[in-house]
Amino acid sequence: MPNPGSGEPVLRVRGLRKSYGDKVVLDDVDLDVARHDVICLIGSSGSGKSTLLRCLNLLEVVDDGVIELDGQEISDPRVDVRAVRSRMGMVFQAYNLFPHLTVLDNCTLAPRKVHGRSRRDAEARARELLERFGLADKADAHPDRLSGGQQQRVALVRALCPDPEVLLLDEITAALDPELVGEVLTIVGDLARAGTTMLLATHEMAFAREVATKVCFLDGGRVLEQGPPAEIFAAPREERTRQFLRRVLPA
């Protein structure tokens, strides 16, 4: 198993700030993501987890602070946004699959159009991943033929096909039936154990405790506390963290 948390950070965030009008959503956020890290962002709704992920993928223009990917500042306005995004994968809460494309086409679109791979290579890679995630027979179906859990697994495959350096997962089980949450989390767990670098916003505390190398508790746009899951869940330092965990963890 790869050794997490060592070496130069893949993503390095310093003093990140983002506001919408008067509302400050992220306030002076620092974060390091090392290769093979699995970082879980926890916190109540509106604490800034999703916005942080969107900022990292340059879907939002930050108001201040610096984001570095492999040592290169990507919060610089002169940076090639598409090149940066092509090195990250993102999965959204509502799957956001393209309904007019088949599962296979959803997965091969970016490899073919952005990464310039041949259709044959892209399809071979997509089929391999679909097979691994138990979706081999769905390759030619359209997304609306699939269950929520299957759609979210396709979204994961779509994000993984271009072999991103970092995977950003934005509450990817929040829209799923409790029954279907498991099948998606199993896959994410497998990816984590295989050494995929991941940053995920989640409400699944048991999952975070099991797979995370680091847990960050966000509150009011700040990273209030971070550390290994054993520490955060067993002995949180901050009173706010304790309050939050009391509400979300079964007694």
Partner 1 sequence: MTEAWTPSPREVERRAVRRRRRWLGTLGATALVLLAFTVVAVAVTSSPGWPRVRETFFNGEHARESFPAIADGFWLNVQLFTICEVLILALALSVALARTARSPWLAPLRVVAVVYTDLFRGIPTILLVLMFGFGMPALQLQGLPNSGFFWAGVALVASYGAYVAEVFRAGIDSIHPSQITSAQALGLGRGQTMRHIVLPQAVRRVVPPLLNDFISLQKDTALVSAVAVFDGVYAARDYTAYHFNYTPFTVAAVFFVVLTVPLTRFADWLQRRSMERERAGAL
Residue type for position 216: C
If one asks whether residue 68 binds partner 1 (CB under 8 A), the answer comes out as no
3-state secondary structure string across 91-122: ECCCCCCCCCCCHHHHHHHHHHHCCCCCHHHH
Q: Is 9 helix (H, G, I), strand (E, B) or coil?
A: strand
Strand pairing report for 222-227 and 214-219: antiparallel
The CB-of-26 to partner 1 minimum distance in angstroms stands at 12
CB of 93 to partner 1, least distance (A): 11
In contact, 158 and 97? CB cutoff 8 Å: yes
Q: Is 24 in the site for partner 1 (CB under 8 A)?
A: yes
Q: Which stretch binds partner 1 (CB under 8 A): 60-68, 157-165, 168-176, 182-190?
A: 60-68
Could you give the CA distance from residue 93 to residue 37 in angstroms, rounded to a whole number? 21
Q: Does 219 bind partner 1 (CB under 8 A)?
A: no
29: nearest Cα among 224, 240, 203, 191: 224
Which positions from 76 through 95 interact with partner 1, judged by CB under 8 A? 76-78
Cβ atoms within 10 Å, residue 6: 10
The answer to whether 72 contacts partner 1 (rule: CB under 8 A) is no
Choose among 108, 130, 110: nearest CA to 121: 108
Considering only 41-49, 73-81, 104-112, 197-205, which stretch makes contact with partner 1 by CB under 8 A?
73-81
> Of 111 and 143, which has the nearer Cβ to partner 1?
143
66 binds partner 1 (CB under 8 A): yes
Interacting span for partner 1 (CB under 8 A) from 74-82, 134-142, 145-153, 229-237: 74-82
Number of residues engaging partner 1 in binding (CB under 8 A): 13
Interface residues with partner 1 (CB under 8 A) are: 15, 17, 24, 27, 63-66, 75-78, 220
